[in-house]
Amino acid sequence: MPNRLPSRDVAIIGLGWTGSILAEQLTAEGLDVVAIERGPWRDTPTDFNVNTMPDELRYRIQHELFLRPAQQSLTFRNTLGQEALPVRTWGAFMLPNGVGGGGTHWNAEMWRFLPSDFVLRTHLTQRYGAAFLPADMTIQDWGITYDELEPFYDRFEYLCGTSGTAGNVAGRILPGGNPFEGARSRPYPLPAMKQGYGHALFADAARNLGYHPFPQPSGNLSAPYTNPLGVQMGPCSYCGFCEWFGCANYSKASPQTTILPTLALRKNFEARTLCEVTRINLDRTGRRATGVTYVDTSGQEWEQPADLVLLCGFQLFNVQLLLLSGIGTPYDPVANTGVIGRNFTHQTTSAAIGFFDKAKYNFNPFMSAGAIGMCIDEFNGDNFDHGPLGFVGGGYMGQVQTNGRPIETTPVPPGTPLWGHGWKQAIRDNYLSTIFSGAGVHGSFYSYRDIYIDLDPTWKDRFGRPLPRITIDLKPNELRMSAYLTDKYAEIIRAMGARQVVSQPRKGPYSMSAYQTSHLCGGAIMGTDPRTSALNKYLQSWDVPNLFVMGATAFPQNAGYNPTTTIGALTYWAAHAIRSTYLKDPGPLVRA
Amino acid sequence: MRLPLAVLALCVSAGLARAAPDAQDFETIARGRALTVAADCQACHTAPGGQPFAGGRPIETPFGTILSSNITPDPDTGIGGWSDHDFVAVLQKGRGRDGQHIYPAMPYTYTARATHEDDLAIRAYLATLPPVRRAVNDDTLPFPFNIRAALGIWDRLFFTKGTFRPVPVKSAEWNRGAYLVTGLEHCGMCHTPKNLLGGDRSGRALQGYALQGWFAPNITDDRRRGLGSWSVDDIVSYLRTGHNRFAAAAGPMAEEVWVSSQGDDMADLHAIAVYLKDQPGQDVSAAPLDPHRPDMAAGAAIYADRCSACHTPDGAGVAGLFPRLAGGPSTQSIDPASIVRVILRGARSVSTQAAPTGPGMPSFAATLDDREVAAVATYVRNAWGNAAPAVTPARVAADRASLADRPTD
């Protein structure tokens, strides 16, 4: 029997971005909040020590900040007929662990989605006709519009000290910014970062080709900043250790650098780390969450009752916990019924490597940052006519090279020996004169009937619970999109003056071995109809109204952008609904 | 008892006709709380992780470690059974309830400056706290320092009795600042140099003193080693938030800000700053070391590599986040204890309601050896117009050894 603890107003599962934002918002409301996090407490001077953080072997190769597969994993297969096998080392995406979650080790690329992304099915159907979409594509509208979300995008950007050049303020298109972006109510809080030589050269080439390059919106700060919570951040030092690493300089937006110092001072907040929630408990009706059960490092089980439960874990484990707790109907791709596990998506990234004449070009790639870069948005969303192209979707592309780290970022031309003198010589010849953006093309990944998450029938986690099973592949639509966009991208790299361009469009089948991005989305999506969505437009469970589910879990499909800014905006949007409406009258915020 | 007190209160409260302190009077208790915060009683009278004011915290002195006493109203182990007279005798005379001398780890040489009325207000506030039963051993010093009678001699040498006397030519604000700094705030307890017997070197008040592995810097208006470059508002900001455009409070000062000065009255903080800015600096001329010295050259390279990302190449730092190293007392104090400590041990600055960030610096003990620490400390103390004596590798080695025995903070 678990030990039963005194009841709290709010139990938060997972203390990453969304858990931290909600904890801040609800403690400000005077509620008694406990956050239960399966990983350790982490903070800047001790855990992101500037002496030891720039260690590629430790953090990039050995995955220091991430979940261990022995703690929790998943199984993977491409198609329904295959047997899924457990993932024993991370590859295609990284699974976060510990306070700050993915917000500690991200690059901090801070994109908003396009207005049309939120009404995707309606928009594409209107423009191209329903028959233009593949029959098995299950894209949906979000049930929320860009205009509704805009004030909350703004809040998240100002929390983070986002550095960028606005392209559209209140409908006015401004020079130097992204002319395709939705209207923003005000400019970014900080000016854009400085750009390296390679990044600037990309912008010149893109401009010459008739595109509209702009600096990538960045959570690596261009200047000192004090956010609305009074928390201070420093200017980025362009050290090139962002993704996979914690920031040692207080200059990358993360829960640690933006929220947790304020939260730590609040007496109505408690964080319980190294405690893994194993179940959301329901009352007999199955319509009300009574709290959560978790296990500490001693194996002791605890029951934490709470009036309001906020599921703020990583996308995959949010879905697993819903399925294990019996909340909502599990999705069945054959019968096409149920919602939990439905519309699982990822991101279709690709690249083109540019090798330049080393006598003429020196890009100093080590001087970089996670969200530095010059981008174009001409080929994102529906910013271009898909009619003659035979696919939907798109992505931004840019010279967004984040680093010149010595193990990973040593591109060499095809045909180079894999080891020995020839390999070393090729690295010497190319290290300073190569453009190598791992995800230079950041494509969308739309949803399909047979790409989903369920519980594995065979493989169990350390508690004996079924592992989450993902069934995922790259569909012809995404492959065509990737081929088209990667060609456009390679053209720009060539126009920069590269002597050789190696184009790497995404190829199927979906592979678990090489890193793509960690942008897993969907599985408990938001929407307007409980038959096709798990959550209403306020991210509240249709089935259990005192449960809200945060994060990219709610995305009906993934757009051609990094997801975190939209996650942050949705979290503030949900927090606003909870504070202004739900707490006054707890119950469904939308009648089904 | 009431009448003489009322008379005294009338004498000291300039223009304010206050009633005699009544231990249950709301205003007295509220004022007592403010004074208790200003005097930072809680910091010393609370054991790490213990109940507030219940005592038992080890206080380091040059003669051994003393445990602070329980000042909650518990009748047996606290001060619940004490009379007002007993309480005032501690603050004014340094004598315990039994008439015995108490150790000057209790800053009675400072609290003696406080008015009787303020003493009783503090007493009134402490009487409202929950009583905590916790007996504290008050005889922990080794022979011969355990002979309390000897403290009578100490008192004759170093203790001037008597409450604060205003200086008529100075402003009311200056006098308020002087009353607090030389009295209940007991700033000199850490910041005034001590003689061999632990008495204040009164001719050098507030010119800095090494204790607990730190150097509490000069807080006079000295341009190089003191607060000469700080404005009154800079001082107020530092005391209020733990941070200003130059510096961040860490170590014992972080505790002082957290427990005491972040809760102080703004007018009092302003008065303190006005008084400190009026304490004349020594302004001894000093020339920086030759930048071509081997340790300076090595220090410059280490600084560029290890320090400049946060503290910036020109030592300007980032206001409120990364302390400024160019100018100011934390880098140029004659005694380099603090800078060596921070490099070896790292430091966490205080997180306050007004400045919640609480940035920290990691330890460089594992990545820089004694020579490298000495070189970079020497460089920082002599770059950008700074000038201070070089730090030797031997000094770093000695500090590294002594810090190894200290708990983290």
Binary contact (A264, B320; C-beta < 8 A): no
Taking the Cβ of residue B24 and every Cβ of chain A, the question of whether any pair is shorter than 8 Å is answered with no
Q: Which residues contact B149 (CB under 8 A, 6 or more apart)?
A: B101
Binary contact (A230, B354; C-beta < 8 A): yes
State whether B150 and B183 are in the same domain.
no
Q: Which residues contact B55 (CB under 8 A, 6 or more apart)?
A: B45, B46, B47, B67, B68, B69, B70, B71, B78, B134, B136
Taking the Cβ of residue A51 and every Cβ of chain B, the question of whether any pair is shorter than 8 Å is answered with yes
d(CA B177, CA B268): 7
Residue B166 in domain: no
Q: Which residues contact A54 (CB under 8 A, 6 or more apart)?
A: A239, A241, A245, A248
d(CA A155, CA A575): 12
d(CA B6, CA A76): 83
Q: Which residues contact A422 (CB under 8 A, 6 or more apart)?
A: A416
Q: Is the pLDDT of residue B14 over 80?
A: no
Q: Which residues of A514-553 are buried (b: 16+ CB within 10 A; e: fewer)?
A: ebbbbbbbbbbbbbeebebbbbbbbbbbbbbbbbbbbbbb
**Residue A263 to residues A31, A87, A247, B322, B352: CA-CA distances in angstroms?**
13, 35, 19, 21, 12
Residue A279 in domain: yes
Residue B283 in domain: no
Binary contact (A44, B359; C-beta < 8 A): yes
Binary contact (A265, B351; C-beta < 8 A): yes
Residue A482 in domain: yes
Q: Which two tokens stand for residue A4?
A: 């039963």
Give percent of chain A above pLDDT 90. Answer: 98
- Mean residue pLDDT across chain A: 97
Q: Which residues of A touch B348 (CB under 8 A)?
A: 45
Could you report the per-residue pLDDT of B345-403, keeping only the tens digit for each? Answer: 999 999 999 999 999 999 999 999 999 999 999 999 999 999 999 999 999 999 999 98
d(CA A24, CA A265): 11
Closest Cα of chain A to B195: distance in Å?
Answer: 37
Query: What residues are paired with B318 via a beta bridge?
Result: B322
Taking the Cβ of residue B320 and every Cβ of chain A, the question of whether any pair is shorter than 8 Å is answered with yes
Residue A484 in domain: yes
Binary contact (A50, B367; C-beta < 8 A): no
Closest Cα of chain A to B355: distance in Å?
Answer: 6
> Under DSSP, is residue A567 helix (H, G, I), strand (E, B) or coil?
helix
- Mean residue pLDDT across chain B: 90
State whether B107 and B58 are in the same domain.
yes
State whether B178 and B267 are in the same domain.
yes
Q: How many CB atoms lie within 10 A of CB A389?
A: 12
At A452, which helix (H) or strand (E)?
strand A452-460
Q: What is the CATH number of the domain that holds A300?
A: 3.50.50.60
With contact defined as beta carbons under 8 Å apart, do A306 and A9 qualify? yes
State whether B71 and B102 are in the same domain.
yes
State whether B8 and B141 are in the same domain.
yes
Query: Residue A232 is nearest to which of B321, B346, B361, comparing CB atoms?
Result: B321
With contact defined as beta carbons under 8 Å apart, do A107 and A402 qualify? yes
d(CA B98, CA B101): 9
Looking at B128, B158, B188, which one is the last position of a domain?
B158
Closest Cα of chain B to A234: distance in Å?
Answer: 7
d(CA B223, CA B102): 38
- Among A47, A250, A366, the residue to mutate for chain B (most B Cβ within 10 A): A250
Question: Which pLDDT value is given to residue B68?
Answer: 94
Confidence at B196, pLDDT banded by 50, 70, 90: confident
Question: Which pLDDT value is given to residue A129?
Answer: 97
With contact defined as beta carbons under 8 Å apart, do B217 and B228 qualify? no
Binary contact (B353, A49; C-beta < 8 A): no
Q: Which residues of A touch B358 (CB under 8 A)?
A: 261
Residue B282 in domain: no
Confidence at B140, pLDDT banded by 50, 70, 90: confident
Could you report the per-residue pLDDT of B245-268, keeping only the tens digit for each? Answer: 999 999 999 999 999 999 999 999
Taking the Cβ of residue B304 and every Cβ of chain A, the question of whether any pair is shorter than 8 Å is answered with no
Binary contact (A250, B320; C-beta < 8 A): no
> Under DSSP, is residue B395 helix (H, G, I), strand (E, B) or coil?
helix
At B344, which amino acid appears?
L
Task: Find residues 327-366 of chain B whose CB sits inside 8 Å of chain A.
Answer: 346, 348, 351, 353-364, 366
Closest Cα of chain A to B132: distance in Å?
Answer: 22
Could you report the per-residue pLDDT of A500-549, keeping only the tens digit for each? Answer: 999 999 999 999 998 999 999 999 999 999 999 999 999 999 999 999 99
Query: Residue A250 is nearest to which of B306, B319, B321, comparing CB atoms?
Result: B321
Question: Which pLDDT value is given to residue A489?
Answer: 98
Contacts A–B by Cβ distance under 8 A = 68
Residue B287 in domain: no
d(CA A142, CA A552): 12
Report CA dihedral (B90, B91, B93, B96) to the nearest 10 degrees.
10
d(CA B328, CA A407): 42
B262: Cα within 13 Å, side-chain hemisphere: 18
Question: Which pLDDT value is given to residue B18?
Answer: 41
Confidence at B97, pLDDT banded by 50, 70, 90: confident
Residue A591 in domain: no
Could you report the per-residue pLDDT of B45-88, keeping only the tens digit for each? Answer: 999 999 999 999 998 887 788 999 999 999 999 999 999 999 99
- Domain hosting B75: range is 2-158
Residue A575 in domain: yes
Question: Which pLDDT value is given to residue B60?
Answer: 82
Question: Which pLDDT value is given to residue A2?
Answer: 79
Residue A590 in domain: no
Binary contact (A50, B358; C-beta < 8 A): no
Query: Minimal Cα distance from B348: which residue of A?
Result: A45
pTM: predicted TM-score of the whole model, two decimal places? 0.93
State whether B260 and B336 are in the same domain.
no
Q: Which two tokens stand for residue A150?
A: 């805009």
Taking the Cβ of residue A249 and every Cβ of chain B, the question of whether any pair is shorter than 8 Å is answered with yes
Confidence at B139, pLDDT banded by 50, 70, 90: confident
Taking the Cβ of residue A45 and every Cβ of chain B, the question of whether any pair is shorter than 8 Å is answered with yes
- Domain hosting A406: range is 3-584
Mean pLDDT for the stretch of residues A198-208:
97
- Among B321, B345, B369, B376, the residue to mutate for chain A (most A Cβ within 10 A): B321
Could you report the per-residue pLDDT of A264-295, keeping only the tens digit for each? Answer: 999 999 999 999 999 999 999 999 999 999 99
State whether B14 and B139 are in the same domain.
yes
Could you report the per-residue pLDDT of A328-382, keeping only the tens digit for each? Answer: 999 999 999 999 999 999 999 999 999 999 999 999 999 999 999 999 999 999 9
Q: Which two tokens stand for residue A499?
A: 């002597």
Question: Which pLDDT value is given to residue B100?
Answer: 86
Q: Which two tokens stand for residue A518?
A: 């960690």
With contact defined as beta carbons under 8 Å apart, do A429 and A415 qualify? no
Among candidate residues A551, A10, A21, A15, the one with its CA nearest the CA of residue A275: A15
Confidence at B21, pLDDT banded by 50, 70, 90: low
> Under DSSP, is residue A426 helix (H, G, I), strand (E, B) or coil?
helix
Q: Which residues of B touch A225 (CB under 8 A)?
A: none
Taking the Cβ of residue A224 and every Cβ of chain B, the question of whether any pair is shorter than 8 Å is answered with yes
Q: Are strands A342-345 and A521-523 parallel, antiparallel or unpaired?
A: antiparallel
Closest Cα of chain A to B57: distance in Å?
Answer: 24
Q: What is the ipTM of this complex?
A: 0.88
State whether B110 and B231 are in the same domain.
no
Confidence at B283, pLDDT banded by 50, 70, 90: confident
Closest Cα of chain A to B271: distance in Å?
Answer: 26
Q: Which residues of B touch A51 (CB under 8 A)?
A: 306, 362-364, 366-367
State whether B146 and B198 are in the same domain.
no
**DSSP 8-state class, residue A445:** B
Q: How many domains does chain A have?
A: 1
E strand map for A85-215: 85-86, 168-169, 172-173, 214-215
- Residue with the bigger pLDDT between B152 and A238: it is A238
State whether B189 and B333 are in the same domain.
no
Binary contact (B310, A49; C-beta < 8 A): no
d(CA B375, CA B392): 8
Please state the φ and ψ torsions of residue B302, each to the nearest 5 degrees: -65, -40
With contact defined as beta carbons under 8 Å apart, do B347 and B361 qualify? yes
Cα Rg of chain A, angstroms: 23
Q: What is the CATH number of the domain that holds B316?
A: 1.10.760.10
Q: Which residues of A touch B309 (CB under 8 A)?
A: 50, 237, 239, 248-249
Binary contact (A249, B319; C-beta < 8 A): no
Question: Which pLDDT value is given to residue B5?
Answer: 41
Confidence at B409, pLDDT banded by 50, 70, 90: low
At A17, which helix (H) or strand (E)?
helix A17-28
Looking at B127, B158, B189, which one is the last position of a domain?
B158
Question: Which pLDDT value is given to residue B23?
Answer: 73
State whether B200 and B260 are in the same domain.
yes
Residue B231 in domain: yes
Binary contact (A234, B355; C-beta < 8 A): no
Give residue A489's Cα distance to chain centre: 23
d(CA B366, CA B156): 48
d(CA A275, CA A300): 10
Report cis status (omega within 30 of 0) of the bond before A333: no
- Among A46, A50, A227, A247, the residue to mutate for chain B (most B Cβ within 10 A): A50
With contact defined as beta carbons under 8 Å apart, do B374 and B399 qualify? no
At B188, which amino acid appears?
G
Query: Minimal Cα distance from A46: which residue of B?
Result: B362
Binary contact (A261, B360; C-beta < 8 A): no
Q: What is the CATH number of the domain that holds B188?
A: 1.10.760
Active-site residue set of A: 519
Residue B197 in domain: yes
What number of H helices and E strands is found in chain A? Answer: 13, 25
d(CA A527, CA B355): 40
Among candidate residues B400, B382, B389, B367, the one with its CA nearest the CA of residue B327: B382
d(CA A163, CA A220): 7
Q: Is the pLDDT of residue B406 over 90?
A: no
d(CA B248, CA B358): 9
With contact defined as beta carbons under 8 Å apart, do A38 and A295 qualify? no
Residue A592 in domain: no
Taking the Cβ of residue B313 and every Cβ of chain A, the question of whether any pair is shorter than 8 Å is answered with no
Q: How many domains does chain B have?
A: 3
Taking the Cβ of residue A552 and every Cβ of chain B, the question of whether any pair is shorter than 8 Å is answered with no
Residue A234 in domain: yes
Q: Is the pLDDT of residue B3 over 50?
A: no
Query: Residue A234 is nearest to which of B306, B322, B360, comparing CB atoms?
Result: B322
Query: Residue A234 is nearest to which of B310, B346, B367, comparing CB atoms?
Result: B310
Closest Cα of chain A to B363: distance in Å?
Answer: 8
Q: Which residues of B touch A248 (CB under 8 A)?
A: 309, 362
Task: Find residues 318-337 of chain A whose CB sits inside 8 Å of chain B.
Answer: none
State whether B374 and B337 are in the same domain.
yes
Residue B284 in domain: no
d(CA A241, CA A108): 12
Sign for the CA dihedral angle at A507, A512, A517, A519 comes to positive
Tokens 């427990």 sit on residue = B259
Binary contact (A226, B356; C-beta < 8 A): no
B300: Cα within 13 Å, side-chain hemisphere: 12
Binary contact (A46, B362; C-beta < 8 A): yes
Residue B234 in domain: yes
